[in-house]
Amino acid sequence: MDSKIQSTNGILILENETPEDVAKAMIESGQQKEPFYVFDMDEAYRRIQYFKKTLPRIQIFYAMKANDNERMIKLAANLGMGFDCASPGEINKILNLNVSPLSIIFAVTSKNPYWMTYARKSGVRHTTFDSSCELKKIKQFWADARLLIRIKIDGESIYKLGEKFGCDFETEAIDLLEEAAAFDLKVVGVAFHVGSGCFSIESHMIGLQRARALFDHEAKAGREMSIVDIGGGFLSDRTDSINQVSKLINNTLEELFPDPNVKIIAEPGRYLCDSASSMYCSVNNVRKVSVSQDEHKREVLNSNTDYVMYNYSKANFIAINEFLSNVNWTEKIYVQTNVNEMVKVLYSIIRSSLDLYYEKE
Ligand SMILES: Cc1ncc(COP(=O)(O)O)c(C=O)c1O
């Protein structure tokens, strides 16, 4: 393997080479027996800068669940980003990098007493809630927390988070705000998440409108809120549909939240990491399966870990078929796909592009 590759804790770092070169080097070395992924730090950096440029009002709280590798979180910390943490383990990881706990939002609406106590003792101040039950726990275990009420916004998205998180804006939000006030808890803002991989660009706008209504309700009651958390959900495709959604968000912010003292934050995860990640696994078999109620034909790629349902685009598949018809199966074939595409593939919903590599035995 190339001498420029160094190994630390199972992570290989190759300077000044393309991610494809890294992958090829790993495959051709013959040492790589398991599926692996390559993470392109330059691409992650470009994504962060692009996000900042298109949404200048917004402070990023990186959803580290997207990639909690130390290099990625160090990059985020060095660029002055905050963090969306979803567990004590994630909080601990951030604090070990000497990042201030004030840069963390514990953005999970269901926390057990231990999690709350841990966050409070660690100096984390902000968290979210979406139920009366959570408020009662917060009252008991973390009464000085700064709270954001999470409302449900169900956009057209690949992963609909509204099925699990967020109170109903019409029927629950006001009651919860009143209950928090009765408990003497401090609600400082509104949070929402339009669902991951959101393709309905108006969803963020609806979220902002509802946040505005809740700000107004609180103001009337003599309680000030100052944070809007617009979550993640930015479509992590390679064609930057963020251009459209950012315009709408910027205009809506100007109209509904012109006061610069209102802090607008976002928790992008996939958007920052997706196109930086490529996953590789070896292919052992390919067979056709018939699929009902769907005119798309599908192939099953039997990789060395699992069956991968592949919903192919025609052009790709012709190329793959031709390629595979000449394969010598004593050699290993690797299939490369973008990590997020791979997840989509598992859900059998989206086309992708494939590159195949041989590993000579
Ligand atoms: C609270 C919260 N914030 C942010 C994210 C990141 O979302 P995305 O990867 O769509 O940017 C998630 C994803 O699950 C989430 O639950």
* CATH no. of 41-273: 3.20.20.10
Helix axes 88-95, 113-122, angle to 10 degrees: 10
280 vs 231 pLDDT, higher one = 231
Dihedral over Cα of 302, 304, 309, 311: its sign? negative
Average pLDDT over residues 1-28: 65
49-52, long-range: CB < 8 A, 24+ apart: 50/240, 50/242, 51/234, 51/242, 51/266, 51/268, 51/271, 51/272
- pLDDT tens digits, residue range 170-206? 999 999 999 999 999 999 999 999 998 898 989 999 9
What pTM does this model have?
Answer: 0.84
Residue by residue, DSSP assigns 43-112 as HHHHHHHHHHHHSTTEEEEEEGGG---HHHHHHHHHTT-EEEE-SHHHHHHHHTTT--GGGEEE--S---
Delimit the domains of the chain by residue range.
Answer: 1-32, 41-273
Question: What percent of the chain has a predicted confidence (pLDDT) above 70?
Answer: 72
126 is catalytic: no
Catalytic residue among 193, 204, 332, 344: 193
Helices marked H in the chain: 19-29, 41-54, 70-78, 88-95, 113-122, 132-141, 173-182, 203-220, 242-256, 270-273, 314-325, 339-346
| The predicted structure's pLDDT at residue 21 | 81
| The predicted structure's pLDDT at residue 352 | 37
| The predicted structure's pLDDT at residue 106 | 98
- pLDDT tens digits, residue range 293-304? 454 555 666 655
CA–CA separation, 192 vs 210, rounded Å? Answer: 10
Asked whether residue 345 carries a pLDDT value surpassing 50, the answer given is no
Catalytic residue among 90, 134, 218, 267: 267
Atom of ligand 1 nearest to the CA of 196: 10
The Å distance, Cα 356 to ligand 1 centre, comes to 31
- pLDDT tens digits, residue range 51-90? 999 999 999 999 999 999 898 999 999 999 999 999 999 9
Q: Is the CB of 196 under 6 A from ligand 1?
A: yes
- pLDDT tens digits, residue range 30-62? 777 677 778 889 999 999 999 999 999 999 999
| The predicted structure's pLDDT at residue 353 | 44
Q: Is the CB of 162 under 6 A from ligand 1?
A: no
Helix axes 41-54, 70-78, angle to 10 degrees: 40
CA–CA separation, 73 vs 75, rounded Å? Answer: 5
Atom of ligand 1 nearest to the CA of 191: 1
267 is catalytic: yes
Residue 27's pLDDT band (boundaries 50, 70, 90)? Answer: confident
| The predicted structure's pLDDT at residue 349 | 27
Residue 29's pLDDT band (boundaries 50, 70, 90)? Answer: confident
Lowest-confidence region among 114-118, 146-150, 265-269, 341-345: 341-345
Asked whether residue 2 carries a pLDDT value surpassing 50, the answer given is no
Asked whether residue 114 carries a pLDDT value surpassing 60, the answer given is yes
DSSP 8-state class, residue 34:
S
CA–CA separation, 54 vs 127, rounded Å? Answer: 26
Lowest-confidence region among 260-269, 275-284, 319-328: 319-328
Lowest-confidence region among 152-166, 189-203, 251-265: 152-166
| The predicted structure's pLDDT at residue 340 | 55
